[in-house]
Amino acid sequence: MQRPILVHAILETALGVTNVEEICAASPRMQGISFGPADLAASRRMKTTRVGGGHPAYLVRSDPDPKNPDAPRPTAQQDPWHYSIARMVDACAATGCLPFYGPFGDISDPLGCEDQFRAAFLLGCVGAWSLHPSQVAIAKKVFSPPPEEVKFAKRVLEAMPDGRGVLMLDGKMQDDATWKQCRVCELAVRGEPLVRLRDRHRGKGHRWVIRRAAVRLGAARDGCGLKRRRRGRRSRCGRSSPCVSSSLPGRRRSVPWPTIELRGP
């Protein structure tokens, strides 16, 4: 085979959310995870029949006005999926997987679909499912940073080519941390996927090459050479990436946990 068979998981149970970090690190073949709100809602015994999106009963209400206790109190609908999506994104970012939002069930509500997709995009998801052709255009629109943000990010990158130092731009402080954020936005317009390539067997170990293309989360860089633990030998990595143990049904093994970095040119 010229290309490896990759694995894409679906996060749709409470047990899966609890173990999402181990799922992402279960195998170097893990390509990504999609978020399944409907099955997850059933697994959690959530009292909703909606597939994604918010719920009018899941809200916060402002305090009563002391001078007029009977006056209407503004409410704000909350996102019941925020925690789970954010945890999935963290697990994927830590292991080199790609996080995707899953389905939005109300085809008749394009605005609600757009809001849900955008919330997932801002949290770090790189794509979403489309249940209807009308949602394809929404996804294409949402899963790209706004042009004005890309323009500002390019200005920051031009002012700080190597990401070093601190400066003020339009009254906003820019440092190495904001440089990384701008790097993410600037590269997001390319939309190339993160690729995992399995190299040939060499010696007594398997060499896994992790190449981070210009994905929405980082810059194209040379891969991190990793060797799986085998026969009690210590793993070696050119960038000192730690290895983590993953417990799977019927077996236990160590798998490489790549360190993803955003470096300057």
Helices assigned H by DSSP within the chain? 14-18, 20-24, 37-44, 82-95, 110-123, 133-142, 147-159, 176-188
**Between 52 and 265, the higher pLDDT residue:** 52
For 8-50, write each residue's pLDDT tens digit.
Answer: 999 999 999 999 999 999 999 999 999 999 999 999 999 999 9
- Section 196-209 average pLDDT: 29
CA–CA dist 94, 161 (Å, integer): 26
Tokens of 70: 């009977």
Asked if residues 261 and 224 have their Cβ atoms less than 8 Å apart, the reply is: no
Q: What pLDDT, on the 0 to 100 scale, is given for residue 190?
A: 61
**What pLDDT is stored for residue 178 in this prediction?**
85
What the chain holds in terms of domains, given with CATH numbers, is 7-54+78-142 (3.20.20.60), 147-188 (no CATH), 195-256 (no CATH)
> Do 149 and 170 meet the contact criterion of CB atoms below 8 Å apart?
no
Q: CA 202, CA 17: separation in Å to the nearest integer?
A: 36
CB-count burial class (<10 Å; 0-12, 13-18, 19+) for 135:
buried
| Close Cβ partners of 56 (under 8 Å, ≥ 6 residues apart) | 77
- Per-residue pLDDT at 189: 62
Give the integer Cα–Cα distance in Å for 113 and 63. 30
The reported pLDDT for the residue numbered 2 is: 80
pLDDT at 74 over 70: yes
Report whether pLDDT(191) > 60.
no
Residue showing tokens 């490489």: 256
Q: The whole model's pTM is what?
A: 0.66
| Local structure of residue 41 (DSSP, 8 states) | H
Lowest mean pLDDT, pick from 39-43, 119-123, 230-234: 230-234
Q: Looking at the predicted structure, is the pLDDT value of residue 68 above 80?
A: yes
- Please state, in angstroms and rounded to a whole number, the distance separating the CA atoms of residues 155 and 149: 10
Query: Could you give the C-alpha distances from 242 to 37, 65, 227, 228, 232, in angstroms and in order?
Result: 32, 54, 11, 11, 16
